[in-house]
Amino acid sequence: MRLESRTRTPLSDGPAEARRSPARWLEVSLLFLHLAALALALGAPIVFGALVVPAAFEILPTRDLAAALQSPILTGLCRGLQGAFIVLLGSSFLLARWWSAAPLSRALMTRAAILGVIGAIVLEKLLIPPIERIRLEAPGLIDDLPAADPSRLLLNRYHRLSTGLFAMEIAAAALLLLVTARLLAAGRVSAPRRTAAPPPVPKLLDLS
């Protein structure tokens, strides 16, 4: 009499890992969205600060005209940054989870995105409107006011705050780029999921 002894087919990926790993197309799509939002969050402030602002002050005859031109552009930029960092917050959380990132990397990515959202909101809601109000209520052009004028001093203070927040936005985006690049370089992107191992050859036992 011959008996066939069979063993259960082992699976390379357990149920927990299968639930955690997304489909390949979903992971690639989210990574593309993450990188696009990262390009907007990092590139737009750099272009605005390095090209738009100097060009406006060089072409227009007064600083008031240059500021009037920049104000709506800066408002739109802040709204774009808010959207970009909100996308980065969600994509960072999911990618760090799917790639099994270290707790420090996951915390840096999510905290930097939150910091970017808060900075853009503060810049749009709390700094741009007072700057515009000071310019409208000033007794004449800002350039013509004396250095000790209260309006000019307050305007300079708001400008320093807005410059600091703008630098914080760039730093937050740069930190996200650095952590993302390190995860990609370390091969954190999930490899193609392994299929079940082939069934073993039955062992024949001769008991005759």
**In this predicted model, what pLDDT tens digit does every residue of 68-90 receive, in sequence order?**
889 999 999 999 999 999 999 99
Identify the band that residue 14 occupies on the pLDDT scale cut at 50, 70 and 90.
very low
How high is the pLDDT of residue 198?
63
Q: How far is 99 from 68, CA to CA, in rounded Å?
A: 46
How high is the pLDDT of residue 104?
94
How high is the pLDDT of residue 201?
60
Strands 2-5 and 203-206, by their bridges, are antiparallel
Average pLDDT score over residue span 162-168: 93
Identify the band that residue 15 occupies on the pLDDT scale cut at 50, 70 and 90.
very low
How high is the pLDDT of residue 197?
61
Identify the band that residue 16 occupies on the pLDDT scale cut at 50, 70 and 90.
very low
**Sequence ranges of the domains in the chain:** 21-189
Q: What is the mean pLDDT of the chain?
A: 83
